[in-house]
Structure 1
Amino acid sequence: MTDRTVAQAAQAQAQDPTHDGDLRPDLAVLGMVAYLQLAEFSRLAADAGLAPTLAQRLELSGMARGALDRLDRVTARVEELGGGLEGAMGPYAGVLVEFDTRTVPSTWWERLLKAYVGYGVADDFCRMLAQAASPVTRALVEDVLDDEAHSRLVVDALAGAVAEDATLASRLALWGRRLVGEALNAAQAVLADHADMRSLLASAMAEHAAVDPQQKLFAMLTAEHSRRMDRLGLAA
């Protein structure tokens, strides 16, 4: 950090008495969340252009705009802590490239499911690691990653379709299994490549001391994936 950012960090800590003095956990998880919001903006904007109905195009366009608003909120917190957005995001830029390369959807239905369950794993990953950040940052992350509006759109579009088409349901169930496998691989790669994330995970899972932190994390991520598939009426 420069002298200026050190001073900003000290001021932020004074204003946030819940912070323990170490900025790295907060900046690490905020950097990851910022990258996800930027990726979400691009994805939702693309989805809006491909949506089959005008209503869906309008709704997805609004969600894309909302992703930028959420990115602004994360940026404000990073700067409050004395960091810079580009520096915080930099280590995580591209963490979804391999996932996206290996999970190219071939239909609109597959695209919807990928956004819901595939990127849902990434959001859950950040939520869980944010448990080791300061309460202010943790609350922000949980609020920013609240995906209920998009979840409703996906559930409304998919649940009825799969209930009426058993073949579609079977194909999407298989697609969902592929998505979660690749998403878990991406999460494992993030942990392998980033020591700050491993430290966050160890702190976040401290109450489960008898269980390997990564094992517990992946069990929790898998359970959340199953919950989403159940909501759609699909076998996990």
Structure 2
Amino acid sequence: MTSAASEGRPEPVERADGADGVAAADTADTVELLGLVAHLQHVAFGRLAEDAHEAPTTAQQLELSRLAAAAVQRRDRVLGRVAQLGGDPERSLGAYTRLLDDFDNRTQPSTWWERLLRSYVAEGVSDDFCRIAAGAVDDVTRELLLEVLDDAAHAELAVAELETAGAQDEVLVSRLALWGRRLVGEALGVVQQAMAGHPSLARLIGRREGATTEPVVDQPATGDPKLFGELTAEHTRRMSRLGLTA
């Protein structure tokens, strides 16, 4: 009988030893993280496309539209890995459909600069969380995720634009610093919500090196002091790049 492996097709997630030698129990958690990263790239595409439409200059419109296209490519690479592990790409992506609704409703920007900073902060916190969780997955998946998450083109654009604007307007700097504090609070709330609603994410965080808590069976983890300390420290570093107080 011809096996799925010999035909180059992914084996089901339920098998004892999954694709690339990943244990089935770990594969399910890995697919969950991949779904989150794919969703974040999917959301980034929509936001970047909207930002391109709102951008004040043609040069910004062109650059943001190119970044939107790149987000689609990254999303599809991640979903390709879901399929390799025997998961359902559409289901994995759809599992997080409502995750950012409250964040979006609570953080509607009123200016172009607030819009740029919102993406910079939100993407920074979410990417940091996924990067930390990736420390508990298989080597092949980790390499892919770190490559996807390390694409800093949009962050560099935001930094350049915000630095230039802030150098010319001290009032704007003060306002953006306050806006950044509000944004990070909301973004950390999304992380907590994701872990509570998706136990697989909490298990990955609990298995990473240096974790301060272990996941509790049938009890969603809502926080990890070390995790939130790391996320806050990285946010402070990013704000410092802009000359803003976190």
Normalised to the residue count of structure 1, the TM-score between the two structures is 0.91
Out of 23, 27, 30, the position equivalent to 2:27 is 23
**1:8–1:80: 8 Å Cα contact kept in structure 2?**
no
**2:11–2:85 Cα contact (<8 Å) kept:** no
Matched, 1:184 2:188: yes
Structure 1 regions of 5+ residues with no counterpart? none
For 2:230, which of 220, 223, 230 is the aligned residue?
220
Matched, 1:132 2:136: yes
1:114-160 Cα offsets, whole Å, 9 max, x none, are 00012211111111111111111111111111231111111110102
Does structure 1 retain, via aligned residues, the 8 Å contact 2:211–2:227? no
Q: Deviations over 1:29-58 (max 9, x none)?
A: 100001101101000000001111111100
Q: Contact conserved, 2:125 with 2:187, CA < 8 A, in 1?
A: yes
Identity of aligned residues (%): 50
Q: 2:243 matched to which residue of 1? A: 233
Residue type of the partner of 1:131?
G
Q: Secondary structure at the match of 1:202?
A: helix
**How far, CA to CA, are the matches of 2:167 and 2:44 in structure 1?**
28
Tell me: CA distance 1:8–1:194, structure 2 relative to 1, closer, same or farther (3 Å): closer
Contact 1:172 1:234 in 2 (8 A): yes
The answer as to whether partners of 1:25 and 1:132 remain within 8 angstroms in 2 is no
Q: Which runs of 5+ in 2 are unaligned?
A: 216-222
Distance in 2 (alpha carbons) for counterparts of 1:6 and 1:45:
33
The answer to which structure, 1 or 2, has the higher relative contact order (CA under 8 A, 6+ apart) is: 1
Q: 1:13 to 1:192 in 2, by over 3 A?
A: closer
1:211 CA drift (Å): 9.6
Q: Distance in 1 between matches of 2:83 and 2:12?
A: 8
Secondary structure of the 1:92 match is coil
1:82 to 86, 98, 112: 86
- Confirm or deny that 1:64 pairs with 2:68: yes
Q: Tell me which of 195, 200, 205 is aligned to 1:196.
A: 200
Q: What does residue 210 of structure 2 align with?
A: 207
Indicate the residue corresponding to 2:220 in structure 1.
none
Runs of 4+ with deviation above 4 angstroms: 209-213
Give the drift of 1:88: 1.2
Other-structure match for 2:116: 112
In 2, Cα distance between equivalents of 1:116 and 1:181: 14
How many residues are matched? 230
CA contact (8 A) 1:41 1:64 kept: yes
TM-score (norm 2): 0.87
